[in-house]
Amino acid sequence: MKFDTYHIDSAIKKNLAAEGFKRPTDIQFKSIPSIQKGEDVLAIAQTGTGKTAAFAIPIIDMIHRAKSSKRSFGIYCIVMVPTRELAAQIGEVFDTLSQHTKVKGFALFGGVEQDPQIKKLKDGIDVLISTPGRMFDLISQGAIDVKKVRVLVLDEADQMLDKGFIKDIESVKRRLTQRHQTLFFSATINKEIKKLAFSQVKSSAIRIQISPDDPVSKNVSHGVIFVEMDDKRFFLRKFIQDNEDARIMVFVRTKVRAERVVKALERVDIKSLAIHGDKDQDDRTAVLAQFKNGWAKILIATDVSARGIDIPDVNFVVNYDLPEKQENYVHRVGRTGRGTRKGQAISFCSTEEVPLLEKIQAFLTKPIETITVGKKEYSVIIEAGEKPETVQDLIHANEDWEKNRKKARRNRRKKS
């Protein structure tokens, strides 16, 4: 079945064709008809399988058909998301798919000045994509009116609920005076979160689960290399040099570690960028733009970016540190192998991280392939590496981190 045969407006079909989308993915094929019928939907599908378009396409079509002009008569749909990056990413999808229609979407998030956002809201929008914090700030200020909302989407809903946003979600639902439709989309979900999820949708909700036995897309091949913690930087350098034309995302556990990895690569003339929670929103947005346009091919990220970055041509994901939450493994490796493209994920596992690896494999219900490195090859990689970090290197790295943190605080104070 092709999008040409769907009962959606011709402008949306043209937008889909322009983006190279001819046929729906499994999650789109199963979700779109139910959403068009006004049913609640609880959908679990792998990352990179087109979940955003699965709800954006029918929502844009419904709003477009209901309007007689481009003038907005109130927010029709709210999409709640856990991170700023995800809000911006979904906003881009709505902008792309709603071209030449009567639908106006807007991505709202904290870390930037409110006044331009309030002006945009006053001009009128149909779809609000937002993180809870900034949305509730502007609701309390009277800048957002949710009385006409007919659709509530919870995207990456497991993280929303896991982060304790359940009260925010319930608060929004209490404010929705119109009969509304709830759409719950995520890549992973555990039993505890599933109970909370079911409490947010009607008992008659359509439940869709794509490839439940393997949460990682079949487009992604993944393996693990056993590397001691202090040797990881040498293996990363070797991996990057062996794949010098590739676009690579490297995930680390902490903000400090992200900056240290950037510095370690810098010492061997490898240019990289870091993105993490201590950078202000303007810096984070700039870093993503530079990574997308190819200014730097290496992005060092904490789990703040495990969701919400949709860059189609990421060739490799490197788990420099294994994630402490096994679900985050799925979201990390889902940054590659998106759509119809193939991707590869490599994890570096130190001795102390073996218990984390075991939890990840239990979550995946199968072992991750071990990439064997012989003792001689291991020694060669270490010997070819840079000199170990000195105490002075560590001091400089910590000073840089402190400067970035103070800068971020100053910027937050200016914008609050």
What digits encode the pLDDT tens for the residues 51-72?
899 999 999 999 999 998 888 8
* Of residues 173 and 28, more confidently modeled: 28
pLDDT category, 386, cuts 50, 70, 90?
Answer: low
What is the 3-state composition of the chain as percent helix, strand, coil, each rounded to the nearest 5? 45, 15, 40
Q: Does the pLDDT at position 311 exceed 70? A: yes
- Which pLDDT score is estimated for 337? 84
CA end-to-end span of the chain:
49
Joined together, the tokens standing for residue 153 give 């989407």
Domain 220-408 has CATH 3.40.50.300: yes
CATH number of 3-209: 3.40.50.300
* Of residues 201 and 52, more confidently modeled: 52
**Ranges of each domain in the chain:** 3-209, 220-408
By the 8 A CB rule, do 149 and 62 touch?
Answer: no
- Which pLDDT score is estimated for 359? 94
Q: What are phi and psi of 170, to 5 degrees?
A: -65, -35
Q: What is the pLDDT of residues 252-264, one digit of tens each?
A: 999 899 999 999 9
In the numeric block, the tokens 């008569």 are attached to 73
Which runs of consecutive H residues, i.e. helices, occur in 182-317? 191-198, 232-242, 255-266, 281-292
Q: Which residues of 302-336 are buried (b: 16+ CB within 10 A; e: fewer)?
A: bbbbbbbbbeeebbbbbbbbbbebbbbbbbbbbbb
DSSP β-ladder status, 298-301 and 206-209: unpaired
Which runs of consecutive H residues, i.e. helices, occur in 245-346? 255-266, 281-292, 326-333
pLDDT category, 389, cuts 50, 70, 90?
Answer: low
How many residues are given for the chain?
416
- Which pLDDT score is estimated for 377? 92
* Of residues 157 and 396, more confidently modeled: 157
pLDDT category, 297, cuts 50, 70, 90?
Answer: very high
Q: Does the pLDDT at position 209 exceed 80? A: no
- Which pLDDT score is estimated for 397? 57
Q: Which of 18-22, 94-98, 331-335, 390-394 has the lowest mean pLDDT?
A: 390-394
Residues 351/244/304/96 CA torsion (nearest 10 deg): -150
* Of residues 40 and 199, more confidently modeled: 40
- Which pLDDT score is estimated for 91? 94
What span, in angstroms and rounded, lies between the C-alpha atoms of 108 and 114?
9
By the 8 A CB rule, do 45 and 155 touch?
Answer: no
pTM summary value = 0.72
Q: What is the pLDDT of residues 87-146, one digit of tens each?
A: 988 999 999 999 999 999 999 998 888 999 999 999 999 999 998 888 988 998 999 999
Q: Which residues have C-beta within 8 Å of that of residue 259, sequence separation ≥ 6?
A: 274, 397, 400, 401, 404
Rounded to the nearest integer, the mean pLDDT of the chain is: 86
Hey, do 3-209 and 220-408 end up sharing a CATH topology, with the first three levels equal? yes
> 143, exposed or middle or buried, with CB in 10 Å at 0-12, 13-18, 19+?
middle
Distance of CA 246 to the CA centre of its chain: 21
What span, in angstroms and rounded, lies between the C-alpha atoms of 268 and 374?
24
Q: What is the pLDDT of residues 160-184, one digit of tens each?
A: 776 777 788 888 888 888 889 999 8
